[in-house]
Copies of this chain bind each other. A is one copy, B any other.
């Protein structure tokens, strides 16, 4: 399974909105389609969004018909802006944009195009390596017999590479021969847990049990869960973590029941420019995501809805943040800074 594949002149993605019913790949030939794929969650998951955006920007750069570097730069700026406006919360998107902007300052259009292609490929390749290392660090925390609660989807689909974040750790622990069971939150409204995580775990043959989101507290309280591991869309400089809606609740419930709560994310998900979680923008998505499930209406028409796609977990509830450069513990502000300073 390759959730994101660069074909040289186009981008091939596994359309996550069709899973688990259909395994459909879409070939994206222009940058507008890539923006739409991100907005519509055909590609989702913070690291995967970063990679897809990088390749999407390349598609845009390849389509600019000029040899004038000034005109090229101007049109490229519009493309950067279109991707920046696609989704507000996951920071990997903005890191990919910034990296392409700062890495590629060539004087000719040809050289610029080549630089953008090379940088996008480098982002993809680095995430591949990062996720393997992250999964190994995290797997050390998983003991034989563990029952692990997770939320949303953090597997290959979410990272676009061979290992996921939280689900990469679970995959690695399973490959190490540990007997584990994964409790999968269905993750309303878009059911990434029910649709995507169960699908990945099924392929990997890792035992798992699907539950509704509101059952997680019951299982945490009854002592059936050894740890909670999930991903992140943006981690502030102080460790506050934005992730899929419902994450905050799980962190409070884990704390109340003395179950360790781990966040797994590559350093590309850490945003040192955002001091605390209060500064992370939370995407409000369409009402229909709550009002309908697979096109079937679940409430009276015109019912008013709130649909925040993410919430912020205060750093105090997080036992550790697992990255490719090691495991970060409290105090987060200092230890996050040092993991970057050490030049891992």
Contacts and interface: CB of A to CB of B under 8 A. Distances in A.
A298 interface: yes
Given A253-B249, A294-B293, A218 B308 contact: yes
Interface string A203-237: 00001111111111111010000000000000000
A334 interface: no
Count identical subunits in the complex.
2
B245 A218 contact: yes
A71 interface: no
A130 interface: no
The SS class assigned to the A binding surface is mixed
Contacts of A20: 299-300
A198 interface: yes
Nearest to A203: B300
Interface string A287-314: 0001101111111100111111001000
Contact of A188 (B186, B209, B296): B186
A214 B215 contact: no
Contacts of A189: 212
A241 interface: no
Interface residues of A, number: 52
A156 to B, nearest CB: 16
A242 to B, nearest CB: 11
A304 B210 contact: yes
Contacts of A308: 215, 218
Nearest to A291: B210
A305 to B, nearest CB: 5
Contact of A217 (B198, B248, B307): B248
Contacts of A294: 293, 296, 298
A223 to B, nearest CB: 12
Contacts of A215: 245-246, 306-308, 311
Contacts of A296: 293-296
A12 B215 CA distance: 33
A245 B216 CA distance: 9
Contacts of A256: 252, 256
A252 to B, nearest CB: 5
Nearest to A252: B256
A210 to B, nearest CB: 5
B202 A306 contact: no
B249 A202 contact: no
A217 to B, nearest CB: 3
A304 B209 contact: yes
Nearest to A295: B296
A293 B304 contact: no
Contacts of A219: 306
Interface string A176-199: 000000010111110100110011
B191 A298 contact: yes
22 contacts: A20-B299, A186-B298, A187-B214, A188-B212, A195-B299, A208-B304, A210-B299, A210-B305, A212-B246, A214-B214, A214-B245, A214-B246, A217-B248, A217-B249, A217-B252, A218-B311, A249-B249, A252-B252, A293-B293, A294-B296, A294-B298, A296-B296
Given A208-B303, A215-B308, A252-B252, 16 more contacts: A20-B300, A188-B214, A189-B212, A191-B298, A194-B299, A198-B300, A198-B303, A209-B304, A210-B290, A210-B299, A212-B307, A215-B306, A215-B311, A217-B311, A219-B306, A295-B296
